[in-house]
Structure 1
Amino acid sequence: MAAPGFWTRPPGRLLRLVGPLAPGVRRRSRPAAKAEVPVVAVGSASLWGTGKTPAVIALAQRLAARGRAVHVVTRGAGPAFRVDERGHAAAEVGDEPLLIAAFAPTWVAARPADGVGAAAAAGAEIVVLDGGWPDSAVVADVTIAVEDAVRGFGNGYAWPLGPLKRRIRDAFGDVDHLLTVGPAAAQHAFSARWAADVPCPRLAAELVPLQTGMDWSGLDVVAFAGIGAPERFFATLAGLGATLIRAQALSDHQEMTPALLGRLEAEARRAGAQLVTTEKDAVRLPPGFRPKVVSLPVRLEPADWAPLDALLP
């Protein structure tokens, strides 16, 4: 989401006075349901992008590698249904569920408990509940929070005065592990600023480009991205040696209209450049346009899997 500028600035006098009164995002009042299978809830205290989707994919892959029949459940509209990665479009199910479905059986449901029940009935031995914290409709066996190490908690206040869904002093009491996503310098800065406010164990992780055999060095690209922090995608491309002719930041989940894609294609053609986007944005492209675009996949890599391995059911 596009964050107001004051969410990231040091609070002024007025904000320091009224900030502690900010209510945060309203929580559900109904009791959480108990699932038939173990549930790993994954969520963020922040309203901006944190790397949650790559974390969900990484956890699902890790559990599958241990021989578990793992399904993912995410919140959507209507009764529970399983995402068909080949038959559904992003406009029908959402770009994140469609991306996750390439890695694990994925269910969308307005009521997460229904999604977990459907997954269990379909053979799931364990469920990763995307968005299952902090407002959980299902009792979690393990709760993992994912936060952006670069932006941290912004000004430290709850919505609408800051980026947090809860006041920071109330945010992490029910979390088993905090996963902070970002490079080493950002991890150190996060520790210095926020470690005292987070009572649960913390593990650093990075989003690392997947080696696909693509040689980016010296390649002219027209890049576009509609994710939480598009500038980091562009920085990743530059770090791989690509020359960015244009870096078009889109809003999160922005529709890929024919006019938008036509402009990007025309610019790439004039410059003799390659169109490049993220994996998540690629699933929103019209089928006929996808062959014209290269996606750069990234994977979440924790500094050490051992703490999470010991935690996971």
Structure 2
Amino acid sequence: MSRFAVIERASIDEVYVDLTAAARERVRQMEGQQVDAEMLKTTFVDGFSQHGDTLQSGDPATLREEERRAGVWAWLEYLHRNCDQQSPEHQLTAGALIVEEMRAAVEAETGYRCSAGISHNKVLAKLSCGLNKPNRQTLLPLCSVPRLFDTLPIGKIRNLGGKLGESVAQHLNIEYMGQLRAFPLSQLQAAFGEKTGGWLFDLCRGVDFEPVRDRHLPKSIGCSKNFLGTEALSSCEQVKHWLLQLATELEERLTKDREQNQRVGKQLSVSVRLEGAGKSSHFSRCCALSQYQAQSIANNAFTLLRGFNTAGSHQTAW
């Protein structure tokens, strides 16, 4: 994906892509050309179809594809009639073309299929990504946001799925994101503070300014495992066994990182959390990381840990 534009890894299976520069360049390259609907062969355009307005019979997949095509044609007609070549709407469409190519490249090289959302900011892109899964992409123009937000629960919006979203809904006695538009900026800032109130005022109108940040390399690489209840380790041999399992996994991750990022780890850190009798304790110890070899890592980790064995350092029990 990073071949196409700046990316920000958000989770193990999610990424934000800043297509601003790439979309502007694509618009420049296509100056004077019309976008063909077949170039957007897996794209839905939210707000530009009649889905759900009339009852239809037939194969659901066929009807869904007809709905998708009709929406793309309606969107392209809207562009032709209302938007100049340099408009944000044309840039969104260019972004959708790029994402079609990006998703095809991902599938060709990895075998994985993915969905995507194309919109003006991270909040709208994440929201639209989930509208037409699987293996489809959704373009969400700003003109479609009010209709979508009028029936969208507040908790479905990025950063409003937790306590803040609950607080907004309860304090203002509302349920849907679109209902926020009824409140003036001064009232939102009085209730939730200047910064958060201003953010809510903009967000309910589809406006957000958080940038896509180029992914930074992690400062540490690790692996861990919990041993709960009957799985609790009770002998030194069990501790050694699992340290080796974790060290083997760690060796693989470290080796892959060294190959990809041309860097080497310098320190080994071992952390343990113990829970019981209504309380928990945590300790951590470090030593030099001399080599990427699982058995060596496991031996060093056990040396760091064995002093905490209350059965005694030479006992078989842990």
Decide: shared fold, TM above 0.5.
no
Higher helix share: 2
Higher strand share: 1
Larger Rg: 2
Higher relative contact order (CA 8 A, sep 6+): 1
TM-score (norm 2): 0.24
